[in-house]
Amino acid sequence: MRRLHYAWVVAGVTFIVMLGAAGFRSAPSVLMVPLQDEFSWPRGEISVAVSINLLLFGLIAPFAAALIEQYGIRRVIGTGLALITLGSALPIFMNASWQLILFWGVLVGAGTGSMALVFAATVVNRWFVKHRGLVTGILTAAGATGQLIFLPLLASLASSYGWRTVSLVVAGCTLAMVPLVFLFLKERPTGDPYGGKALPSQPAGSALGALRSAARTRTFWLLAGGFAICGATTNGLIGTHFLPAAHDHGMAPTTAAGLLALIGVFDIIGTIGSGWLTDRMDSRVLLGVYYGLRGLSLLSLPLLLSDQVRPSLLLFVVFYGLDWIATVPPTVALCRENFGASGTIVFGWVFASHQIGAAIAATAAGYARDAFGDYGGTWIFTGVLAIAAAGLSVAIRARQAAIPARA
């Protein structure tokens, strides 16, 4: 038997780290109703902490990519894990909403930002030549898998033992990942990456330098605009408000968490399949199809939510799950094709737009619910936005010459 290339070990450790980060970030959606019940904080106010978490998760990403290039994966990821540990353990002492914003918003947001999708893109670009799209899809699916594993557990813990137990469990799981990172997550291959010869190293430039170069192109703004809507319609809306919306309709928290986890199950299938398709099809077309189908599914959601799980709602869960973050592999591929050596850092900025969209949607949906008493209008508005994102994606021109990085 041929010896296993160490790239697969690195990919496995990366998957576990990203799985944990997704689980840690899913906690606020489980805690929203318990915090509202205990402290009488408005849902919009709690949503601000979630929005800051989402925003920092995105804005830290391009700088994390540049810091990884300068200081190495282990140091950056280790620092991120330390921030998550503090941010998830300290809330057990809080008694004011600004503390929630500081702990779950700032600390956990900054910590998970170092383990955002640019981390996966860095690993793929360093360690793989063959199957890049597929491996990107697998690592991206770690986000759904983390949600799958953690959400039902955290919802059950919150119902049985209170939200403080959830905070402590997240802190403990974070600490358990530190040895794994420092023992097995190597920086670069000692020989060739998997499936091909190592290419000559090119300077990626700084985070701001890559942004300045990319921002002069139409492709960057089309990608960023579409990905901002992607964030608004996934993490910002469904990821943050699906559980509270289901609660509004009388559905049990554990049942709603199970549905969100089921979305995660089908997202694993959809994202890995999207990675496979990205190796074979035009990424612009894939993005157009994904966003269009997502928009149609969101437009149907106001008719489907109730106090029970009906077949029509399960159909939405399957359909939406397959499309959840299938957008990532083709977006990474377009950044790599159009921006060359700076592609990973440029993707970090595109991902930052994803989280800006998510943050805006999380806060806006919370305040809209406080003002109107339900989420019906929000589902429809974001469904229309998703269809608009399909138009932005197909408007991207065919592959252009790579842009040189600038410091």
Digit-by-digit pLDDT tens for the chain (407 residues) are 457 889 899 999 999 888 888 777 777 777 878 888 888 888 778 888 888 887 887 788 778 877 887 888 889 999 999 999 999 899 999 988 899 889 988 999 888 888 877 788 788 888 888 888 888 888 877 866 776 677 778 888 888 888 899 889 888 988 889 999 999 988 888 877 887 776 544 444 567 788 888 999 999 999 999 999 999 998 788 888 888 888 888 888 888 888 887 887 888 888 889 988 988 899 999 999 999 999 999 999 888 888 888 889 999 988 888 887 789 889 988 998 888 777 878 888 898 898 889 889 988 998 888 888 888 889 999 999 999 999 999 999 865 444 444 43
Task: Report which residue type is found at 341.
Answer: A
pTM here?
Answer: 0.71
Phi and psi torsions of 94, nearest 5°: -80, 155
Largest CA distance in the chain: 64
Distance CA 231, CA 208 (A): 22
Distance CA 116, CA 105 (A): 15
16 vs 20, 274, 275, CA distance in Å?
Answer: 6, 20, 19
Distance CA 73, CA 214 (A): 24
Token pair for 327: 């957008």
For residue 402, the model assigns a pLDDT of 42
Distance CA 4, CA 2 (A): 6
- Say which residue the tokens 């592959």 belong to: 399
Distance CA 124, CA 284 (A): 21
For residue 129, the model assigns a pLDDT of 83
Distance CA 79, CA 30 (A): 25
404 vs 80, 349, 369, CA distance in Å?
Answer: 30, 16, 46
Domains within the chain, CATH numbers bracketed: 6-189+204-394 (1.20.1250.20)
How many residues does the structure list for the chain? 407
For residue 398, the model assigns a pLDDT of 67
